[in-house]
Amino acid sequence: MLTTRLSAFLLDNKTPHYLSVSRYLEDQTHISYELEKIRSHQELTINLLTTQLKDKVKDMEKHILEHFSENDTCKNNDDLKQIIKDLQDNNTRLAKNFEDIEVKYENWNDQTTVLRQSLQKLLQLSTIQQLQTLDSLQNKVQTIDSFVLSIRYREQVRDQDFMALYNMTLQ
């Protein structure tokens, strides 16, 4: 599993999109970790149930072989019927457990899908905030440009006034 880690700090608290991206990456890492943990747990559970079933079948086969060696004529038909009934009950129980695990897995998949959609929405929101910040910065730059032009114009007017005053003093 490949995870990414991003560390950042804010120099100016007027740009909150860095926090949103950081939270998004942290949430994404947490979701990936939880999903991986669930998958691992399910694999372990299925492996354990499979091993238990194999052991039970081996025990039953061993038990059956012992009965056959003791009584080749199979006089204990009721014992065999009980063994078959026990095996069927065990199989039914294991099938139900497997179905429960499948339902839980589907629920986790659904939750993961919902979380991924939420993550996409966070990303879109983060992008919108970045664009708004960029637009705000552009407006400020335009305001500063206008202010600089105004100052230059005033300076030119003062220079002209000074020149006119200087010329008047020379005459």
Q: For residue range 113-155, list pLDDT tens digits in order.
A: 999 999 898 888 888 888 888 889 999 999 999 999 999 999 9
Per-residue pLDDT of the chain (171 residues; tens, 9 = 90+): 455 555 555 555 565 555 677 788 888 999 999 999 999 999 999 999 999 999 999 999 998 888 766 555 555 677 788 889 999 999 999 999 999 999 999 999 999 999 999 989 888 888 888 888 888 999 999 999 999 999 999 999 999 999 998 888 887
Closest CA to 16 of 122, 114, 143, 119: 122
Per-residue burial over 83-115, b = 16 or more CB atoms within 10 Å of its CB, e = otherwise: beeeeeeeeeeeeeeeeeeeeeeeebeeeeeeb
Question: Would you say 24 and 121 are in contact if contact means Cβ atoms under 8 Å apart?
Answer: no
Question: Would you say 97 and 106 are in contact if contact means Cβ atoms under 8 Å apart?
Answer: no
Question: Would you say 24 and 126 are in contact if contact means Cβ atoms under 8 Å apart?
Answer: yes
0.85 exceeded by the pTM? no
pLDDT for residue 97:
93
Closest CA to 133 of 23, 27, 20, 22: 20
pLDDT for residue 15:
57
Q: Give the three-state DSSP class for 10.
A: coil
Question: Would you say 20 and 125 are in contact if contact means Cβ atoms under 8 Å apart?
Answer: yes
Residue-range domain boundaries for the chain:
17-126
- Residue written as token pair 């740009």: 15
Question: According to the 3-state scheme, what is the secondary structure of 50-115?
Answer: HHHHHHHHHHHHHHHHHHHHHCCCCCCHHHHHHHHHHHHHHHHHHHHHHHHHHHHHHHHHHHHHHH
pLDDT for residue 92:
94
Q: What angle do CA 139, 142, 147 make, to 5 degrees?
A: 125
Residue 74 backbone zone (phi > 0: left; psi -120 to 50: alpha; other: beta): left
